[in-house]
Amino acid sequence: MRDSTIRRVAVIGGGANEEHDVSLASAAAVVRAVRALGLTAVALTVDRRGGWHLHDGPIHPAQAVSSLVSCDAAFPVLHGVDGEDGAVAGLLTLTGVPFVGSPVRAGALGMDKWVTKLVAESLGIRTAPAVLVDDRFDASQLPLEPPFVVKPTFGGSSNGVTVVRESEELAAAIGTARAAGGSALIEAFVSGREVDIALFRDRDGVVRAGSTLEIAVADGAVFDREQKYDGSASFTLPARVSADEHAAIEAAARALYDALGCAGVARFDFFVTAEGVVLNEVNTTPGFTEQSQVPRMFAATGLDYPALVAALLDAALPAAAPAPPDIRDESRHSWHESRHS
């Protein structure tokens, strides 16, 4: 690591949502990497009910805050609601602890698939035609024809996602999606190859891209939760795309990274179709085990897992600002001020 001021790193995993176990796996991998870097890992876990644990023991929330502020930086890997959506970023910002990952705004926008679509379309990035299902939704007015993909507006790991091929299946699919995430989206099914790319802004301000990654999915299917976590998924790195397709994917990802206000690593999922590139989703806290997609993408460019963790920690700290002449006390700034100045 380039910054020798980091000694203790709070690694936050778990979460009170359906991605709890996935987050625990991500956190365990980050703890291993932090220790491999010669640093002290302070393992904090949010249990399924929202309670805090330090290493293996339950603690009061005030003790969790004390543990956080005792650290030089935090590496949260809370996936999903009440974590990835900006909740943990807000906590860390208020406590003044530098952290890896996106700030509140980017996490909240990226978690909301409907809002992400609006941002993408405003940038000229194509998304699948979709309808928001809320309390005012009228199925008789649906302007789309099956097949559809019905998904929760919030959440990840493909929880609550259903491919609907007949209109009579729609109501049940909406119920499944809304049970997993409140409101839902009905999207036109996009036929194309699934290709992802990941970005992060390093300590020098350079946005670095990992390799593209193509996911092998059967025709007419989606990359579902089982495939993501049972080891059956087949990835190709780099993806088998043309130079023009690669350029379109990376340009769209970079535009979204900046427009959403991302920091740390974010993954951008696309479909590559005969008509061009179509955005699927954005993940501001993607899965982060050694075998997850994002670490594989950067490993393919020569940045192995511990080196990626080190680079993300380096980027989380504010750049040192020179002190004004003869003024010492006034040169001290909060992390939040210096990070966003």
Under the banding of pLDDT at 50, 70 and 90, the label for residue 232 is low
Q: What is the mean pLDDT of residues 59-86?
A: 96
CATH number of 8-100: 3.40.50.20
**What pLDDT score does 227 carry?**
52
Q: What is the mean pLDDT of residues 254-282?
A: 97
Q: Which of 40-54, 64-78, 226-240, 244-258 has the lowest mean pLDDT?
A: 226-240
CATH number of 108-126+191-316: 3.30.470.20
Assess whether pLDDT exceeds 80 at residue 341.
no
Under the banding of pLDDT at 50, 70 and 90, the label for residue 157 is low
Beta pairing partners, 62: none
Assess whether pLDDT exceeds 60 at residue 303.
yes
Q: What is the pTM of this model?
A: 0.88
> Residue ranges per domain, the chain?
8-100, 108-126+191-316, 130-188
Q: What is the C-alpha separation between 53 and 150, in angstroms, rounded? A: 35
User: In terms of Cα–Cα distance, which of 295, 263, 267 is closest to 279?
Assistant: 267
Q: What is the share, in percent, of the chain residues with pLDDT greater than 90? A: 78
Which whole-number Å values give the CA distances from 142 to 131, 148, 278, in the listed order? 8, 11, 22
Assess whether pLDDT exceeds 60 at residue 226.
no
Under the banding of pLDDT at 50, 70 and 90, the label for residue 215 is very high
- For domain 130-188, the question of CATH label 3.30.1490.20 is answered with yes
The amino acid present at 21, given as its one-letter code, is D
Under the banding of pLDDT at 50, 70 and 90, the label for residue 101 is very high
Assess whether pLDDT exceeds 60 at residue 321.
no
Which whole-number Å values give the CA distances from 13 to 28, 35, 54, 87, 292, in the listed order? 8, 16, 11, 13, 16
Assess whether pLDDT exceeds 50 at residue 327.
no
**What pLDDT score does 182 carry?**
75
Assess whether pLDDT exceeds 80 at residue 223.
no
Helices (H), 222-289: 225-229, 243-260
Q: What is the mean pLDDT of residues 255-274?
A: 97
User: In terms of Cα–Cα distance, which of 77, 86, 21 is closest to 285?
Assistant: 77
Contact 118, 279 (CB under 8 A): no
Q: Are strands 73-76 and 8-14 parallel, antiparallel or unpaired?
A: parallel
Q: What is the C-alpha separation between 53 and 210, in angstroms, rounded? A: 33
Model confidence pLDDT, tens digit, residues 107-156: 999 999 999 999 999 999 999 999 999 888 888 889 999 999 999 998 76
Assess whether pLDDT exceeds 70 at residue 334.
no
Q: What is the share, in percent, of the chain residues with pLDDT greater than 70? A: 87
- Reading the block at residue 11, the tokens are 């690694």
Q: What is the C-alpha separation between 256 and 117, in angstroms, rounded? A: 10
